[in-house]
């Protein structure tokens, strides 16, 4: 099978022929039809992601496909089932084996591209806004990186939860995408003063930050008393440093959210969240925004789109089938 394989953090991954894998106990074999790309894939290439697998490994954290084999002891799945899987690795390949516990049956109305673009982005935003920040109807939600893979889902979910959504993104094209996802107010990160713009709207109750850097600092200073700040990621490459005395003055709360980490200590939170999200999808309340669909031999191009911030929503690698 062909796979986009990484053998060294100093060498770019290559499309390689690898042996066809067989599922072990508790695993399923999947013919992969689509793989969603994530900023974390770029960090894994450099070896800086918190869950970077041991070398060598195949990139690709989330996939959608068809079950083609069952390992010993697997129940709840059958050959031919359409599944979405958060495998953490192994997705940029024609076939993969994954722990059955990481797979979910796709809704009948969901296509493979949407399923591959769905779990991490929507799961992160729903768990962050609902479970962590306890976002309430009528509150003001500021989303940084609002046209990105996770940011756009935060706009969409924030509106469904009844918030007033302020979207911050780079340039009019990206802001228009955020507006169409439901944003009430738009801030152009390339020229607007983020702090002043948010304060003019009364300040933020919740900040959703997948960017870090100067945008985090501006958002931090625009918060209302008792605001909650969600640290989701650092697309700017700059991890902000927080002065604890500044938290004290406004009674602020800063909280981290690593969606995949819940698999290790609270998996039922993930499955419950995904059940809600799949129901919303089935009823037409949410729909992934996929800006680019590319074949496997153009995976490097897809990752470059993420690195250079030229994508909106998700980039999906589609495999034949």
Instruction: Say yes or no: 182 and 305 in one domain.
Output: no
Instruction: Say yes or no: 78 and 154 in one domain.
Output: no
Quote the CA–CA distance of 179 and 187 in Å, as a whole number.
11
Residue 80 lies in a domain: yes
Residue at which a domain ends, from 260, 278, 308? 260
Question: What confidence category does residue 321 fall into, taking pLDDT thresholds of 50, 70 and 90?
Answer: confident
Digit-coded pLDDT (tens) for 116-174: 999 999 999 999 999 999 999 999 999 999 999 999 999 999 999 999 999 999 999 99
pTM of the model: 0.92
User: Is the per-residue pLDDT at 271 higher than 90?
Assistant: no
Q: What is the CATH number of the domain that holds 13?
A: 3.90.180.10
Rounded to an integer, the average pLDDT of 80-106 is: 96
The tally of domains found in the chain comes to 2
Residue 272 lies in a domain: no
Q: For residue 103, is it left (φ>0), alpha (ψ between -120 and 50) or beta?
A: beta
φ and ψ at residue 237, rounded to 5 degrees: 85, 0
Instruction: Say yes or no: 41 and 94 in one domain.
Output: yes
Instruction: Say yes or no: 125 and 256 in one domain.
Output: yes
Quote the CA–CA distance of 136 and 205 in Å, as a whole number.
9
What domain range is 205 assigned to? 121-260
Residue 275 lies in a domain: no
């Amino acid at each position: 099978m062909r796979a986009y394989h990484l053998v060294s953090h100093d060498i770019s991954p290559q499309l390689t022929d690898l042996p066809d894998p067989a599922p072990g106990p508790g695993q399923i074999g999947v013919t992969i039809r689509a793989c969603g790309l994530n900023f974390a894939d770029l960090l894994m290439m450099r070896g800086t992601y918190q869950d970077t697998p041991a070398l060598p490994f195949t990139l690709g954290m989330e996939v959608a496909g068809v079950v083609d084999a069952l390992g010993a002891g697997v129940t709840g799945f059958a050959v031919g089932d359409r599944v979405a899987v958060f495998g953490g690795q192994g997705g940029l390949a024609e076939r993969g084996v994954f722990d059955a516990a990481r797979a979910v049956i796709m809704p009948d109305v969901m296509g493979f591209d949407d399923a591959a673009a769905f779990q991490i982005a929507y799961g992160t935003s729903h768990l962050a806004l609902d479970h962590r920040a306890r976002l309430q109807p009528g509150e003001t939600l500021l989303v940084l990186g609002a046209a990105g893979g996770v940011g756009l889902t935060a706009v969409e979910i924030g509106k469904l939860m009844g918030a007033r959504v302020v979207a911050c993104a780079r340039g009019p094209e990206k802001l228009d995408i955020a507006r169409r996802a439901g944003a009430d107010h738009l801030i152009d990160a390339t020229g607007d003063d983020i702090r002043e713009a948010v304060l003019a709207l009364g300040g933020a109750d919740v900040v959703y930050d997948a960017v870090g850097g100067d945008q985090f600092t501006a958002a931090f200073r625009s918060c209302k008393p008792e605001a909650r700040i969600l640290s989701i990621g650092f697309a700017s490459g700059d991890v902000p440093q927080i002065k604890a005395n500044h938290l004290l003055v406004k009674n602020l709360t800063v909280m981290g959210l690593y969606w995949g980490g819940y698999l290790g200590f609270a998996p039922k939170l993930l499955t419950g969240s995904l059940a809600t999200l799949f129901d919303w999808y089935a009823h037409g309340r949410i729909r992934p925004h996929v800006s680019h669909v590319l074949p496997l031999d153009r995976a490097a191009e897809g990752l470059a789109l993420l690195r250079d911030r030229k994508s909106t929503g998700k980039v999906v690698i589609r495999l034949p089938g």
